[in-house]
């Protein structure tokens, strides 16, 4: 019988699961033996040294069956593609290669083909991709770093960065409107294919029509990153169809997603907010306009070493002076603001920011810098968050901008008209650490081209400007002036747009999905659009997932109450709050659901909250944050919401909700 050759130990350890390592010694003993000589005379001695579980305890004559040894094929795929960069020259065009299999994959000899032009990894390359990990390859590593925020693993075309592996061959063509991108194994076989856009030539390895981006409403194609739908832990869906990709219009859960360069989700350590996190500490809920000013002022005054603030606007002279005083005490103050607010930056904000800068604080705006390439766009449509961290130990997340309308100073237990809103304050380390990491990511002026430093000539107030005197207001009662505090253990989730809020598995969506008879959801919002997508669409073609979640909760037997603003509302708009409330009432009537929906202005200057309460089983959740009920807030803006399970805070917000409900306390 012809002697069979057994693969080497090195081959086994790199190509087979760890379970085969135990057979290594046995293989060594049989390298030169004919198969008929491998019998029970050898087996007991060999196995007894390495695996007690394989020792034979009977007198039966055992037979050894060696496993069939084969080369393991790496499951590499194209997980994302930055095809249509918004910047001139498109130097940050890039592909994200992902290892979807269980083995470490060597990239030596692999090929990337873009519309007929092929770049090849050097056959001598030692570059590998671990299971459940990815590697970016780009045209220009320098530009890529400024738009994505980290270094790529490889580059094609000119050798722009000696520290980054350079591929040989030609530059792959990533044509914007249509094309075919292939990933080929070293033997030239197409292992993965992306057919996109208007491409009608379907190559081998692809099934059906080309993949598309989601481009409805205000969301355009330029600058979007194509990305696969997740397929489980550290993997992506791969069926070689357009439905693998996140622009899939027919998938109301994982389709219709958008992705852009510079988001945290491209970072290797990013994790979505899909599970509650345990925390211990103090939580305080403050309600506006009744009682926001004093807790916010106290928070600013408490800072001793550092104060980091991420805000949409700052138009509160008294609180601006508190921040300036904090900087004057030697506290390191960093303020991040939106650079293109709706209606433009007011002279009042210019004055407020100037006080902080003159006192030694650092101020940056989310805005394209002058040294950015033509066409460059900031990472987010708007920086709309409202949160802060003091001394890395205390934090707040709120629904309100720092304005006198949202945070009027109380006078003898009374307040002028203002906006209904909420702030959560906490010293829980688990929460503050998450917020601190988020701020540290967004505050990287040395990396991102969308952080512009305060410029007195551009951002300062007009010469001689002073804030106007506030006209006397008619004072009213402030029944919720005193905050409510809870100390102990609690669970929470920090939801950040654009990474978390549109995911169908985020914790808020999962809580809504659990609603059943006996559960209650109360929803109080500045606005909640009846539908997303194009302005001429409808709730069937382009549902608002958040609104759909509320309706589905009622369909499972939950009680749903929705209170929307009437002060800022435009009733003639088909996506107005008035239209949304009418739609909810119509659905409730047609399906006999326990849904009530109203619009109101309970505090004189509008409902500006983006908040809610969820009683799910024995859990009592409170949501406070900056995410409005529109598509841009979920998919393009930087937003932050804090979701906490704490009964005393829940009870307070329910009391506010019932007091604000125009008829019958929301019951």
Residue 127 sits in a domain whose CATH number is 2.60.40
Residue 481 falls inside a structural domain: no
Q: Is the pLDDT of residue 200 over 80?
A: yes
DSSP secondary structure code for residue 150 in this structure: S
Q: State which of 241, 266, 291 marks the end of a domain.
A: 266
* 305 shares its domain with 232: no
Q: State which of 240, 266, 292 marks the end of a domain.
A: 266
Percent above pLDDT 90 for the chain: 86
> Which runs of consecutive H residues, i.e. helices, occur in 329-363?
347-358
- Looking at residue 471, its pLDDT comes to 75
* 500 shares its domain with 471: no
- If you average pLDDT over residues 469-483, what whole number do you get? 90
Q: Is the pLDDT of residue 591 over 90?
A: yes
Q: Is the pLDDT of residue 205 over 50?
A: yes
Residue 414 falls inside a structural domain: yes
Taking only the tens place, the pLDDT of each residue in 96-121 is: 999 999 999 999 999 999 999 999 99
Q: Which two structure tokens, joined as six digits, stand for 420? A: 């209904």
* 472 shares its domain with 506: no
Taking only the tens place, the pLDDT of each residue in 143-199 is: 999 999 999 999 999 999 999 999 999 999 999 999 999 999 999 999 999 999 999
Q: State which of 415, 441, 476 marks the end of a domain.
A: 476
CA dist 517 and 617 (Å) reads 9
* 659 shares its domain with 532: yes
* 12 shares its domain with 150: no
Q: Is the pLDDT of residue 429 over 60?
A: yes
- Looking at residue 9, its pLDDT comes to 36
Residue 485 falls inside a structural domain: no
Taking only the tens place, the pLDDT of each residue in 359-401 is: 999 999 999 999 999 999 999 999 999 999 999 999 999 999 9
| Mean pLDDT estimate for the chain | 90
Residue 301 falls inside a structural domain: yes
- Looking at residue 19, its pLDDT comes to 38
- If you average pLDDT over residues 658-667, what whole number do you get? 75
Percent above pLDDT 70 for the chain: 88
DSSP states of 547-596: HHHHHHHHHTT-EEEEEEESSS--TTSTTSHHHHHHHHHHHHHHHT--EE
Q: Which two structure tokens, joined as six digits, stand for 437? A: 């990491």
* 260 shares its domain with 174: yes
* 257 shares its domain with 282: no
- If you average pLDDT over residues 524-529, what whole number do you get? 98
Taking only the tens place, the pLDDT of each residue in 11-69 is: 433 444 443 333 333 333 333 333 333 333 222 322 222 222 322 333 344 555 545 44
Taking only the tens place, the pLDDT of each residue in 72-98 is: 667 999 999 999 999 999 999 999 999
- Looking at residue 233, its pLDDT comes to 83
Q: Is the pLDDT of residue 322 over 50?
A: yes
Residue 482 falls inside a structural domain: no
CA dist 90 and 238 (Å) reads 27
Residue whose token pair is 């904000």? 349
β partners of residue 641: 495, 625
* 100 shares its domain with 207: yes
More confident residue, 450 or 23: 450
* 330 shares its domain with 457: yes
Residues 6+ apart with CB under 8 A from 549: 509, 512, 513
Phi, psi for 596 (deg, rounded to 5): -125, 140
More confident residue, 63 or 221: 221
* 239 shares its domain with 125: yes
Residue 607 falls inside a structural domain: yes
* 113 shares its domain with 257: yes
CA dist 358 and 305 (Å) reads 18
Residue 355 falls inside a structural domain: yes
Q: 580: pLDDT confidence band, cut at 50, 70 and 90?
A: very high
- If you average pLDDT over residues 257-262, what whole number do you get? 98
* 112 shares its domain with 220: yes
- If you average pLDDT over residues 251-279, what whole number do you get? 96
Residue 197 falls inside a structural domain: yes
- The candidate with the shortest Cα–Cα distance to 319, out of 365, 288, 341, is 288
Taking only the tens place, the pLDDT of each residue in 595-640 is: 999 999 999 999 999 999 999 999 999 999 999 999 999 999 999 9
Domain count of the chain?
4
Residue 33's domain comprises 1-72
- Looking at residue 74, its pLDDT comes to 78
- Looking at residue 473, its pLDDT comes to 79
CB count, 10 Å around CB of 587?
18
Cα angle 614, 617, 620 (rounded to 5 degrees) comes to: 40
- Whichever domain contains 522, its CATH number is 3.30.870.10
- Looking at residue 232, its pLDDT comes to 85
Largest CA distance in the chain: 106
């Amino acid at each position: 019988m012809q002697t069979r050759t057994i693969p080497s130990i090195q081959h086994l350890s790199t190509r087979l699961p760890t379970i085969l390592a135990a057979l290594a010694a046995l293989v060594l003993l049989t390298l030169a033996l004919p198969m008929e000589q491998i019998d029970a005379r050898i087996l007991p001695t060999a196995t007894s040294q390495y695996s007690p579980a394989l020792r034979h305890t009977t007198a039966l004559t055992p037979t050894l069956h060696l496993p069939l040894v084969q080369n393991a094929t790496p499951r590499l795929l194209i997980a994302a593609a930055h095809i249509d960069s918004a910047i001139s020259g498109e130097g940050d065009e890039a592909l994200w290669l992902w290892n979807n299999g269980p083995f470490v994959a060597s990239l030596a000899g692999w090929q990337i083909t873009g519309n007929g032009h092929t770049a090849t990894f050097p056959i001598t390359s030692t570059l590998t991709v671990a299971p459940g990990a990815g590697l970016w390859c780009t045209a220009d590593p320098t530009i890529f770093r400024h738009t994505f925020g980290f270094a790529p693993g490889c580059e094609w075309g000119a050798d722009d960065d000696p520290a980054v592996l350079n591929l040989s061959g030609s530059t792959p063509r990533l044509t914007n409107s249509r094309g075919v991108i292939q990933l080929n194994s070293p033997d030239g076989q197409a292992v993965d294919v992306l057919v996109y856009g208007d491409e009608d030539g379907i190559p081998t390895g692809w099934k059906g029509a080309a993949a598309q981006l989601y481009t409805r409403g205000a969301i355009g194609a330029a600058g979007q990153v194509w990305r696969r739908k997740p397929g489980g832990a550290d993997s992506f869906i791969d069926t070689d169809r357009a439905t693998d990709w996140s622009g899939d219009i027919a998938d109301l859960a994982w389709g219709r997603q958008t992705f852009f360069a510079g988001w945290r989700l491209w970072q290797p350590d990013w994790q979505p907010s899909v599970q509650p996190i345990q925390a211990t500490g103090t939580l305080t809920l403050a309600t506006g306009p009744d009682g926001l000013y004093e807790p916010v002022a106290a928070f600013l005054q408490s800072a001793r070493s550092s104060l980091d603030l991420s805000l949409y606007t700052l138009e509160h002279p008294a609180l601006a002076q508190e921040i300036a005083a904090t900087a004057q005490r030697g506290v390191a103050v960093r303020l991040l603001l939106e650079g293109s607010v709706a209606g433009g930056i007011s002279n009042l904000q210019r004055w407020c920011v100037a006080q902080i800068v003159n006192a030694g604080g650092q101020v940056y705006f989310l805005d394209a810098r002058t040294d950015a390439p033509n066409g460059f766009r900031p990472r987010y449509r708007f920086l709309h968050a409202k949160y802060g961290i003091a001394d890395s130990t205390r934090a707040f997340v709120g629904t309100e901008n720092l304005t006198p309308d949202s945070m009027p100073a109380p006078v003898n237990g009374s307040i002028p008209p203002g906006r209904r809103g909420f702030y959560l304050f906490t010293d829980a380390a688990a929460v503050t650490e998450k917020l601190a990491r988020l701020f540290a990511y967004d505050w990287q002026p040395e990396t991102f081209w969308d952080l512009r430093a305060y410029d007195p000539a551009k951002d300062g107030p007009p010469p001689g400007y002073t804030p106007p005197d506030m006209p006397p207001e008619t004072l009213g009662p402030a029944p919720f002036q005193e905050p409510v505090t809870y100390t102990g253990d609690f669970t929470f989730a920090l939801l950040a747009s654009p990474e978390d809020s549109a995911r169908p598995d985020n914790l808020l969506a999962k809580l809504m999905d659990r609603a059943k008879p006996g559960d209650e959801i109360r929803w109080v919002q500045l606005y909640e659009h009846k539908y997303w997508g194009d302005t001429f669409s409808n709730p069937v073609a382009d549902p608002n997932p958040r609104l759909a979640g509320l309706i589905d909760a009622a369909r499972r037997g939950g009680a749903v109450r929705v209170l929307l603003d009437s002060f800022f509302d435009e009733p003639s708009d088909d996506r107005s709050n008035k239209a949304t409330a009418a739609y909810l009432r119509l659905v409730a009537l047609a399906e006999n659901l326990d849904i009530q929906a109203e619009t109101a202005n309970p505090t004189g200057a509008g409902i500006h909250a983006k908040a809610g309460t969820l009683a799910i089983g024995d859990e009592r959740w409170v949501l406070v944050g900056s995410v409005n009920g529109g598509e841009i807030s979920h998919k393009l803006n930087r937003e932050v919401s804090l979701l906490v399970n704490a009964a005393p805070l829940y009870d307070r917000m329910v009391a506010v909700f019932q007091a604000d409900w125009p008829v019958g306390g929301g019951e």
